[in-house]
Amino acid sequence: MTAAQETRSPVLHGTRPGPVAPGGVAHAPSRAARAAILGTIGLLFLLPIVAMVEFTLRKGLGGGYDASRWVALAQDGLTGQYRQVLVALGNSVALAVGTVLIVLLLLVPTLLLVHIRFPRLRRVLEFVCILPISIPAIVLVVGLAPVYSLLSRLAGSGVWTLAFAYGITVLPYAYRAIQANLDGVDVRTLSEAARTLGAGWGSVLFRVLVPNLRRGILAAAFIAVAVVLGEFTIASLLSRVNLQTALVVVSKSDPYTAVILSLLALIFAFLLLLLIGRLGAERTRPRRRRPIGGQP
Amino acid sequence: MTRTTVSTTKAPTTANPGMAPAARRGTVVEFSGVSRQFGEHRALAGFDLTLHAGELVALLGPSGSGKTTALRALAGLESADAGTILIDGVDVSTLPTSRRDMGMVFQSYSLFPHLTAGENVEFGLRMRGVVGRDRRRRAADALALVGLDAHYDRFAHQLSGGQQQRVALARALVTEPRVLLLDEPLSALDAKVRVGLREEIRRIQTDLGITTLFVTHDQDEALAVADRVAVMRDGRIEQVGTPEDLYCRPASPFIADFVGLSNQLAGLVRHGFAEVYGAKLPLVDPSQGDGAVLVAVRPEDLELAGDGPDGVGPTGVVVATSFHGSLRRTRVRLGDGVVVSVQHGVQVRTVPGERIRLRFCGTPVSVDAVGIPGQRVMHGGEYGNA
């Protein structure tokens, strides 16, 4: 029997067992239902944003609308009295990067190690990783305060140190995202296959496992960035400046501008997540054409 | 040592003209007293086996007999608690997997999902520092060897199960490994693809002359492709020999049970013969001492003899009959309640309730003097998967 005689997989033929709606997954909602669901959810998200925009366009107590505050902010830029917001934004982005790095460099190898070599520790690891979700931020800060006082003496009180606390805050979400991906990939067999082909552990990790965990890692990165950009409590209580604390300061003197800055921060976060998504998009095509001497 | 280059430009259905004939090649592998314990379970208990150069040895055994552990120990994926594993006389027991130079095909689909078929095959070459054009050419040649050169740019999810295992085979062979390890590579495939692929594996293995260890729980598969079959039980080799040896001269009723179908009947050994239901049958092992034994009689070593009153052999009542294409099998309940299976031609028809007489053909039988727990008909499938 030749390879061509074999039956192709269902994926190749685009068929699946059971009733399948034309062009879709079995029991998938109709196009209209999907549009209704997405429209409703979109409206729910859009309403507060529209309200924010409306608020920033108000003239004052006299009524009416104009874009004077937007124009003023655009003319002065963030170099004047709002320069602190720009600094805070930089802090938050740096913290987001730091937190993502902590998650990726610590959590991913640990999860893989437990999954491949110490599967019995999986429950323990899950408990440890999920634990922070049950601890309120204020309690976390109380516990972290003495650690940070020691850290300040050893490494200074730079805002970057917040990344450690954020790493803990993000841990439950990142764990779930990566673990869900791990459960869907036969990591053990893939790593064994790579090792029998001559790959060392470094190659196994970076050439085989990480590319196949891309989706989970990306989701973890998304969550980490979103949490860090929106975090206020820990930064405020530990007296560090990030985007959210800076916005609160601005809102005390100029609530309109604070809302404009919040809107800009939202757009920035959206674009950042879009960029991460594009960078991590999965490969669906071969890298290059046919090999030398290959058949057409 | 001469290495064979995995290189071809022709379709795979015939022996590859681009390759050298299967003169020597392959390496000698020796397991010596290898043991491995998992908690309370002893997976390998002083496992000894030698694979000759260019030979395909099938490891066959029931679930938990240790066959996969033996293969993984050779690959370096499991460490041995005791014993040595030699490849061409060199102890590789402490060598990491990545440096053992093995090719392995796994039971589950193990292609890297993020790479195309061609890139999967290139992977091992990339790890060995083979660059650019040469790497791609060799990967394309290896894919041609398994008939999938036109699938170079397909991802794993775009291939059928059989095609994925072919690519895995090409990936394992492209680096010209010293030993090829096959860990139940066909068990996830449907019956027809399985038969086709096992013949192809055998063809390629013979062409390349690569020493191969093939783990399977499927006796048909083992008998069909192997030069020798090693049957394992409780972490040890129970019998090793050619497929014909195992089937025709099983060393014990366990082997007779596991390899093929056999009736386990209570009997007696006296003066070098097994006596069962009044028949005197020669022994596979004539040195067997006298005494009560369990006799393994294959269904094809029994025949229907009609129910005449003057016949010789036990009589019984037909319980069931089944059609198997080129033969029929009839189950007969004997007078003492024991049910035996008889194999006969399709032109002979029996019906349940019919009274018939059986006759022993006189083929040598294997016996087991260790206890007689009860007579029954057993076959390899009853042991389940490894």
Kindly report, residue by residue over A139-170, the tens digit of the pLDDT: 888 888 888 888 888 877 778 888 888 999 99
Tell me, what's the pLDDT at B374? 47
Q: How confident is the model at residue B310 (pLDDT cuts 50, 70, 90)?
A: low
Do A95 and A199 lie in one domain? The reply is yes
- Domain span holding position A53: 31-66
Class of domain B29-244: alpha beta
Instruction: Please write down the HEC assignment for all residues of A12-76.
Output: HHCCCCCCCCCCCCCCCCCHHHHHHHHHHHHHHHHHHHHHHHHHHHECCCCCCECCHHHHHHHHH
Report A:164-183 residues touching B (Cβ under 8 A): none
B133 close contact with A: CB closer than 8 A? yes
Q: By the 8 A CB rule, do B34 and B45 touch? A: no
Domain contains A134: yes
Instruction: Write phi, then psi, for A205 (nearest 5 degrees).
Output: -70, -55
Q: How far is CA A239 from CA A145, A155, A233, A236, in A?
A: 11, 16, 10, 5
Q: How confident is the model at residue B307 (pLDDT cuts 50, 70, 90)?
A: low
How many Å lie between the alpha carbon of B74 and the closest alpha carbon of chain A?
11
Tell me, what's the pLDDT at B12? 38
Kindly report, residue by residue over A34-89, the tens digit of the pLDDT: 999 999 999 999 999 999 999 999 887 778 888 888 888 887 766 667 778 888 88
Lowest mean pLDDT among A127-136, B3-12, B296-305: B3-12
Do A147 and A58 lie in one domain? The reply is no
- The token pair at B212 is 């191969």
Q: What is the mean pLDDT of residues B352-373?
A: 81
First to last CA, chain A: 22
Q: Does A198 sit within 8 Å of B98, measured CB to CB?
A: yes
Tell me, what's the pLDDT at B106? 94
Instruction: Report which secondary-structure segment, H or E, holds A228.
Output: helix A214-230
**Is the model more confident about A275 or about B137?**
B137
Tally the domains of chain A. 2
Do A121 and A254 lie in one domain? The reply is yes
Q: Does A212 sit within 8 Å of B112, measured CB to CB?
A: yes
How many Å lie between the alpha carbon of B149 and the closest alpha carbon of chain A?
6
Q: Does A189 sit within 8 Å of B77, measured CB to CB?
A: no
Domain contains A146: yes
Q: What is the mean pLDDT of residues A189-216?
A: 93
Residue of B nearest to A208 (CA): B112
Tell me, what's the pLDDT at A288? 57
Helix, strand, or coil (residue B33): strand
B273 close contact with A: CB closer than 8 A? no
Using left for φ > 0, alpha for ψ between -120 and 50, and beta otherwise, residue B128 falls in alpha
Average pLDDT, chain B: 85
Kindly report, residue by residue over A2-39, the tens digit of the pLDDT: 444 443 433 333 333 334 444 455 577 889 999 999 99
Report B:178-197 residues touching A (Cβ under 8 A): 181, 190, 192-193, 195-197
How many Å lie between the alpha carbon of B370 and the closest alpha carbon of chain A?
40
> Which DSSP symbol is given to B116?
B
Write the DSSP string, A141-193.
HHHHHHHHHHHHHHH---GGGHHHHHHHHHHHHHHHHHHHHHHTS-HHHHHHH
CATH number at residue A139: 1.10.3720.10
Do A194 and A268 lie in one domain? The reply is yes
Residue B317 β-bridge partners: B333, B355
Kindly report, residue by residue over A94-142, the tens digit of the pLDDT: 999 999 998 889 999 999 999 998 999 999 999 999 999 888 888 888 8
Tell me, what's the pLDDT at A126? 94
Contacts of A243 (CB under 8 A, 6+ apart): A85, A88, A89, A91, A92, A229, A265
Q: By the 8 A CB rule, do B262 and B281 touch? A: no
Q: By the 8 A CB rule, do B64 and B383 touch? A: no
Helix, strand, or coil (residue B361): coil
Q: How far is CA B12 from CA A100, A130, A293, B149, in A?
A: 49, 53, 16, 10
Q: What is the mean pLDDT of residues B350-376?
A: 78
Report the relative pairing of strands B315-323 and B279-282 from DSSP bridges.
unpaired
Helix, strand, or coil (residue A133): helix
CATH number, span B254-383 = 2.40.50.140
Candidates B65, B56, B34; CA nearest to B255 is B65
Do A124 and A55 lie in one domain? The reply is no
Residue of B nearest to A192 (CA): B77
B172 close contact with A: CB closer than 8 A? yes
Do A160 and A49 lie in one domain? The reply is no
Candidates B56, B120, B106; CA nearest to B77 is B106
Kindly report, residue by residue over B76-133, the tens digit of the pLDDT: 999 999 999 999 999 999 999 999 999 999 998 899 999 999 999 999 999 999 988 9
Tell me, what's the pLDDT at A8? 40
Candidates B112, B138, B127, B136; CA nearest to A283 is B112
Q: Does A3 sit within 8 Å of B151, measured CB to CB?
A: yes
Instruction: Write phi, then psi, for B330 (nearest 5 degrees).
Output: -120, 135
Do A37 and A125 lie in one domain? The reply is no
Question: What's the gap between Cα B40 and its chain centre?
Answer: 27
Indicate whether B385 pLDDT > 60: no
Q: What is the mean pLDDT of residues B173-187?
A: 93
Q: Does A286 sit within 8 Å of B114, measured CB to CB?
A: no
Domain boundaries, chain B: 29-244, 254-383
B139 close contact with A: CB closer than 8 A? yes
**Is the model more confident about B287 or about B150?**
B150
Indicate whether B53 pLDDT > 90: yes
Residue B332 β-bridge partners: B318, B340
**Distant-in-sequence contacts of B90-99, Cβ < 8 A, 24+ apart:** B96/A195, B97/A192, B97/A195, B97/A196, B98/A195, B98/A196, B98/A197, B98/A198, B98/A199, B98/A200, B98/B127, B99/A198
CA distance B129 to B149: 22
Q: By the 8 A CB rule, do A213 and A108 touch? A: yes
The amino acid at residue A242 is N
Do A55 and A196 lie in one domain? The reply is no
Do A100 and A209 lie in one domain? The reply is yes
Q: By the 8 A CB rule, do A92 and A240 touch? A: no
Q: Does B171 sit within 8 Å of A287, measured CB to CB?
A: no
With contacts defined as CB-CB under 8 Å, which chain A residues touch B184?
none
Candidates A96, A182, A176, A166; CA nearest to A129 is A176
ipTM summary value: 0.78
Lowest mean pLDDT among A71-80, A232-241, B28-37: A71-80
Contacts of A29 (CB under 8 A, 6+ apart): A37
- Helix A83-102 to helix A243-253 angle (10° resolution) is 160
